[in-house]
Amino acid sequence: MLFYKQPQSNEVHNDYNSNLVNLFRCVRDNPNKLKYKLRYYLDAREDFRWLVSLHKRGLFARFRNYDRAAKFYAMVMYSYGHTLKGFNPKPSSLW
């Protein structure tokens, strides 16, 4: 919704979560490249746990922007209620 809205001169989009900011930039700048990076992600509990462990150890910053954005997006989409506290077993398309 944010990307479809007409920009206003007095608006500032800001967030302290650098992974979220990186995701927004990737969606804004080249959404097809992000979709390409997400093409082989599986809806698997093991993948979710691996992504959460990378996130908690601060290792997302080691990845390039679009890989980092894909990992962050997948981790959030896999989580129950998008809280990162539990795996959501409901199959869904990341695209």
Q: Look up the pTM and report it.
A: 0.79
User: Residues 55-83: pLDDT tens digits?
Assistant: 999 999 999 999 999 999 999 888 877 67
CB 30 within 8 A of CB 54: no
Least confident of 69-73, 85-89, 91-95: 91-95
Using DSSP's 3-state secondary structure scheme, residue 39 falls into coil
The mean pLDDT of 34-57, rounded to a whole number, is 91
Please choose, from the candidates 13, 10, 30, 26, the residue with its C-alpha nearest in 3D space to the C-alpha of residue 71. 26
Q: Can you give the pLDDT at residue 86? A: 81
